[in-house]
């Protein structure tokens, strides 16, 4: 199913990235593999956490990169098990790459690895210039009404 967003472009400014993301998802262009499994949580109003199950990976095997509005998490085992004969391998440790699209002003706060789970903490930091503010209204050139501090 293809959705035509062109009528929305006439009435909106700056939402072209959002429409492109929706278009990609509807076309299946961003279909991601299911490995490794992950959760996305909202821990407070402006805080989020992504948790990936990365059993078998150490800190040196994982790479996190935040570029523009994309968080990329890569995992690749560097240690080679020489001299060991594995009769059955049920613990997946294959290389992976996961990409997460971040909203504007969402930044990575930190990452921790514990008990086979990689926790990536994110926070939405809205700059003061982007926060709502009250605009004083001038009364016919007489004197300005002072904006109440919110």
Dist CA 53 CA 58 (whole Å): 12
Task: Indicate whether 150 pLDDT > 50.
Answer: no
Residue 144 lies in a domain: no
Q: pLDDT at position 139, please?
A: 82
pTM of the model: 0.65
Q: What is the largest CA-CA distance in the chain?
A: 88
Residue 21 φ/ψ, nearest 5 degrees: -65, -45
The model's confidence at residue 51, banded by pLDDT at 50, 70 and 90, is: very high
Residue with tokens 């072209």: 16
CATH number at residue 57: 2.60.40.790
CB–CB of 18/104 below 8 Å?
Answer: no
Q: 4: domain range? A: 1-31
Centre a 10 Å sphere on the Cβ of residue 53 and count the other Cβ atoms it contains. 15
Residues 74, 47, single domain; the answer is yes
Residue 31 pLDDT > 70: no
Residue 65's beta-bridge partner residues?
Answer: 72
Structural domain contains residue 59: yes
pLDDT of residue 149: 47
- Collapsed DSSP state (helix, strand, coil) of residue 10: helix
Structure tokens at 102: 């971040």
- Do 41 and 22 sit in the same domain of this protein? no
């Amino acid at each position: 199913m293809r959705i035509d967003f062109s009528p929305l472009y006439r009435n909106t400014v700056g939402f072209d990235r959002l429409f492109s993301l929706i278009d990609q998802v509807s076309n299946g262009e961003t279909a991601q593999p299911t490995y490794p499994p992950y959760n996305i949580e909202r821990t407070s109003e402006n805080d989020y956490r992504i948790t990936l199950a990365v059993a078998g990976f150490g800190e040196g095997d994982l790479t996190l990169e935040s570029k523009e509005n994309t968080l990329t998490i890569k995992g690749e085992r560097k240690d080679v098990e020489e001299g060991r004969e594995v009769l059955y391998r049920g613990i997946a440790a294959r290389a992976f790459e996961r990409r997460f699209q971040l909203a504007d002003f969402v930044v990575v706060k930190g990452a921790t690895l514990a008990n086979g789970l990689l926790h990536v903490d994110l926070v939405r930091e809205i700059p003061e210039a982007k926060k709502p503010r009250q605009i004083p209204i001038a009364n016919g050139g007489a004197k300005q009404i002072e904006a109440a501090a919110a």
